[in-house]
Structure 1
């Protein structure tokens, strides 16, 4: 009876066909046989498995609910993570992954986004063996980034869910950049020290040999040796300054400093150098006080570097103008402007790199270490300030400190 109840719609249709056949002229026995065959078909047919149609729907709902929970957990991570299944099909991604790599469409193979053979082979091996793997991978667009990419199998979740795998990306670009900077720094420092050391050694050997009895040669060589030793001393002092600044770069100063007496002090201390170079340092200062949060000694070092560079490299212009601007809600700015030959545009972005020189020969002739503007940058970073450089060939250069 249960089968007859389950097949009532079919039986009703068969009855309608039998009646229609009767009115169409078929003999009554034929109509009864047709009805009997329909009932028999319902009785002998295989019963449908219970909930055959409902089961896939419930399974999909369970999968979607679990993935939603996984996405909620992964969304709290700042590490880019992509969820894939055993066919390497993308199921989900967290916000960090979307920010780093853009939105990934669910249901597509992972190779639609990453075509690197290394990544695809790593994922294939993890899916086959269940063992985690990792490789180093570089992304060149939109900017060069380096990642440690790791694939791992997720422990089997409760319910009838597919096996899940996580693909995570740990950004090590900054570590690689610091490694390169450290290597470059050691190489450059070694090179800078090697030259004066080789010079000193050569002059000492000369004084011990051919110039042993030549007072005039001794006096000339000793003067050069003193100059080289002084150069090494400046270089070591600048290296130590950079090291100290790096140690406290994250600590912002909390003292109040009036910039007007600071600029006056720097101008007075550089007056002998400016006079020797035939340069006049002119201050353009407002009335009253102009105070900022800062470390006085470090700010003195900043403006000494900028004014000294203006005097040395802008010597042709004969004047270095220093402007202090503030008020009307605008940030406090100090501009050191020389009227020298200027700096080619391609060199401006790299001026604050350690040991970077526009002209090596010109820098050494002016007794520069190549670290002055790097020190300025580090000090201003600690003061939460910016260094803005504007230069025009043949008209001079403007170094502006904006607090």
Structure 2
């Protein structure tokens, strides 16, 4: 395969194409000067004519057969070399644009030469010709950039930005030497270009932290009932061995603790299953109105035991959405059950299904569950869907809650492209609103509604 000519060398085909006559024409001024000098030597200094002609012949032979560069060609080649060093070529631009992460191409002085589309969408106002520090202000990144310019060795660094939110970034900084440059020949020289590739690691770090917190919290939640079971078993084997009254009381408590462990394990497994298929959108068409009515009927015994009346407001026609029936039942059941447990003092729980009034939500259905209990303090609202988060720990455990119910609701709604909103004022109860896309807002849905 033929190699391209070096930007600082005369192409071989140009040297071969230069004929003796062409070279003689390029050296015409030198030959005229030599002829004048020879004539002057013959006339003034009385040099023999034969000697002068011999010298002229030698000069003509040298001009005809010795290759040389013209000044115009040197200027052209030098200009081409400078252009290559000053600005990235089309091939480099196309390659950088194809990368899925933000990329900056800068020269050895730190001047931005090119940015790809991803970088333009994230870093507003960045443009070629500005210093790289105008766009990337992380001190550790700029220090690494200077080191790469000095040493010519690639580097990878990570840093955290606290404003406006905590985010993690990683940057790969690599030098680029163009063919024929000094850096490619292992000579000390500034790189022709520096490629800076930035990756956002925020989501991965948050997932890692979430998993770590989840394991720690799950271990803590399981440890308490397990310790209770162990203590009561040791008591029944020892001091309470022959005490029927204590045995019956302890066995009842042990049953409650075992039930608490079972509910916690069930919720953990349920959350894991939902996370496994979080990226797969449901394909079945379901009737949300029927799901709400079915769930309300199933919870009516619990409402009766607590002295609470569930008031339904559902449309007469089916509410068709795309979703997983079992998961939507789980969402509805969690919300209504929470309203019954924590808002039973209000004696009523309102469950409604309607179209939102806002124009931007016209293609959605909204399920609302309102209780008339004590309400939720405003500072707790943003954290309600966190795993194992409880507004009142003792009250939650007394109601046999695991702290995972609303986290499960959030993950199910994420899979269904829905959202959860909470409105509450202390002493005025709480309202949980679930918005889900209507069937006419989804293309390619099956017509059959699953039962």
2:121 pairs with one of 99, 102, 125: 99
Change (3 A) 1:324 1:113: closer
1:272 pairs with one of 274, 282, 301: 301
Partner of 1:180: 209
Which whole-Å CA distance do the structure 1 matches of 2:110 and 2:87 have between them?
20
Which whole-Å CA distance do the structure 2 matches of 1:327 and 1:350 have between them?
25
User: How many aligned positions are there?
Assistant: 359
Superposition pairs for residues 27-66 of structure 1, below 5 Å? Answer: 50=72, 62=84, 66=88
Tell me the TM-score normalized by structure 1.
0.81
1:353 pairs with one of 386, 401, 426: 386
2:100 pairs with one of 78, 84, 91: 78
1:217 pairs with one of 234, 238, 246: 246
Which whole-Å CA distance do the structure 1 matches of 2:264 and 2:305 have between them?
23
Secondary structure of the residue that 1:353 maps to in structure 2?
coil
Which whole-Å CA distance do the structure 2 matches of 1:179 and 1:292 have between them?
33
Partner of 2:348: 319
Unaligned residue ranges in structure 2 (runs of 5+):
1-27, 31-69, 183-189, 437-451
Superposition pairs for residues 171-210 of structure 1, below 5 Å? Answer: 171-210=200-239
Partner of 1:154: 176
Q: CA deviation at 1:106?
A: 4.0
Question: Please, which moves more after superposition, 251-260 or 346-355?
Answer: 251-260
Secondary structure of the residue that 1:170 maps to in structure 2?
strand
Question: Please, which moves more after superposition, 293-302 or 328-337?
Answer: 328-337
Q: Would you say the 8 A contact 2:424–2:431 is kept in 1?
A: yes
2:261 pairs with one of 228, 232, 249: 232
Q: CA deviation at 1:222?
A: 0.5
Q: Does residue 137 of the first structure (1) align with residue 170 of the second (2)?
A: no
Q: Would you say the 8 A contact 2:263–2:402 is kept in 1?
A: yes
CA RMSD of aligned residues (A): 2.7
CA deviation vs aligned residue, 1:319-356 (integer Å, no higher than 9, x gap)? 00111114995421211111111111221121111111
Q: CA deviation at 1:210?
A: 1.4
Question: Please, which moves more after superposition, 98-107 or 174-183?
Answer: 98-107
Partner of 1:372: 405
Q: Does residue 387 of the first structure (1) align with residue 420 of the second (2)?
A: yes
Q: Does residue 128 of the first structure (1) align with residue 150 of the second (2)?
A: yes
Question: Please, which moves more after superposition, 65-74 or 209-218?
Answer: 65-74
CA deviation vs aligned residue, 1:257-294 (integer Å, no higher than 9, x gap)? 12233222211211221122111111111213222212
Partner of 2:431: 398
CA deviation vs aligned residue, 1:119-156 (integer Å, no higher than 9, x gap)? 23322332233221111122333433211111111142
Change (3 A) 1:114 1:260: closer
Q: CA deviation at 1:366?
A: 0.8
Secondary structure of the residue that 1:213 maps to in structure 2?
coil
2:195 pairs with one of 166, 172, 177: 166
Tell me the TM-score normalized by structure 2.
0.73
Q: CA deviation at 1:174?
A: 0.7
Superposition pairs for residues 12-27 of structure 1, below 5 Å? Answer: none
